[in-house]
Chains A and B, each alone.
Chain A
């Protein structure tokens, strides 16, 4: 069984603050993939990042950064100098690689709503 926990239901910050969204996952597989998606108020789901379980290097993309720690089964997402346009629901997701069949499903966390006020 796999599970993704995003304990923070809602976070409110003021523009320019840094904010970290937590994601903790559970899996028995040694090969798996972690994802973050953004869902702005308009409703679409926007892909942000995909990470495999063998790559623990932190990732930085502009104001976004991700910290992957297998020891704590966490894949946290930090937005530096937040902006109003960052207001959205952010989903963490997990996909296992089933070696025999390649069959896998994407399990989403419940999401964290980030509100950035001016």
Chain B
């Protein structure tokens, strides 16, 4: 079975550019999570969706970040405009059923903003 799929795996962009990260959750999973991992702050939850509806976006750093889930099999995390401090690994994860169920992570997108 396919796991969580993320694209691109690596993204290098210049400050001020728009960046879009993509995620396809495991089929049948009701919950989708976006995390950011940095050396300084570790793994942080940015936002999560239940049945395509955003439930909690309190972890989104600022208005430059936005996330959508137009259908059960696709989600995007957009940063506009990007800044060097956004450089991090961004993970998408999905789980079935309750939010306390096991979250399965995608391979991550390593974002570098120059």
Which of A47, A104, A105 has the largest number of chain B CB atoms within 10 A? A105
Chain A residue nearest to B102 (CB atoms) is A50
Contacts of A97 in B (CB 8 A): 98, 100
Partner of A105, one of B45, B91, B108: B45
Chain B contact residues (Cβ within 8 angstroms of A): what range? Answer: 20 to 34
Report the minimum CB–CB distance from A16 to chain B (whole Å).
Answer: 30
Would B100 and A33 count as touching, CB distance under 8 A?
A: yes
Interface size on A, residues (CB 8 A): 23
Complex Cα distance, B55 from A37, in Å, reads 24
Residues in B57-114 with C-beta less than 8 Å from chain A? 89, 91, 93, 98-108, 110
Query: A54 interface residue, CB < 8 Å from B?
Result: no
Does residue B12 face the partner (Cβ distance < 8 Å to A)?
no
Asked if A103 contacts B105 (CB within 8 A), the reply is no
Q: Compute how far the CA of A35 lies from the CA of B95 in the bound complex, rounded to whole angstroms.
A: 14
Tell me the interface secondary structure of chain B in the complex. strand
A42 to B45, CA, bound (A): 21
Bound-state CA distance A109–B98 (Å) is: 21
Selected contact of B102 from candidates A44, A47, A96, A108, CB within 8 Å: A47
Question: B56: shortest Cβ distance to chain A, in Å?
Answer: 7
Known: A44-B108, A97-B98. A106 touches B103 (CB 8 A): yes
Which of B42, B91, B99 has the most chain A CB within a 10 Å cutoff?
Answer: B99
Could you list which residues of chain B lie within 8 angstroms of chain A, going by C-beta atoms?
Answer: 33, 42-43, 45, 48, 55-56, 89, 91, 93, 98-108, 110
Apart from A45-B91, A102-B100, A103-B56, what are 15 other A-B pairs with CB-CB below 8 Å? Answer: A33-B100, A43-B108, A44-B106, A44-B107, A47-B102, A47-B105, A50-B101, A91-B43, A96-B100, A102-B98, A104-B100, A105-B99, A106-B103, A108-B42, A109-B42
A-B contact pairs, 5 of them (CB 8 A): A33-B100, A91-B43, A102-B99, A103-B99, A104-B98
